[in-house]
Amino acid sequence: MYIIFWFASELLNLYRWAVILAAVFSMLASFGVLDTRNRMVWTIGDFLYRLTEPALRPIRNFLPNFGGIDISPIILILLISAAQMLLGRLYGAIAFGDLQGLVR
């Protein structure tokens, strides 16, 4: 049972890093630090975009327009952290019978 919860937590952790990398990549590309005409740079950016955009798009549609500031990666990172905490409490409730951990 532990391995399933560990694997899910690690996947969420990897996705958190993908969101951070995509946000940094997007910022560096928009300031012209990275040359997106380079095929390798474009491939990395496209991979990060395709990986994170399905989760970021609903958040962007829900948030009001802040001009040029995109806070959707921050919201997604907070949601991933909340999911990891819920996963840990759920594991505690299932593995140890700690039902009080779910209602705190």
- Give 33-88 pLDDT, tens digit per residue: 999 899 999 999 999 999 999 999 999 999 888 888 889 999 999 999 999 999 98
What residue type is assigned to position 74 of the chain?
I
Reported as a pLDDT band with limits 50, 70 and 90, residue 2 is confident
pTM over 0.95: no
Please give the residue range of the domain that contains residue 15: 2-62+70-103
pLDDT > 90? residue 26: yes
Enter the tokens of residue 33. Answer: 């630090």
> How many domains does one find in the chain?
1
Reported as a pLDDT band with limits 50, 70 and 90, residue 104 is low
Least Cα distance to 74 among 60, 86, 84, 88 occurs for 60
What residue type is assigned to position 35 of the chain?
D
- pLDDT for the residue 93: 84
- pLDDT for the residue 99: 67
- pLDDT for the residue 100: 65
Alpha carbon of residue 20 to chain centroid: 7
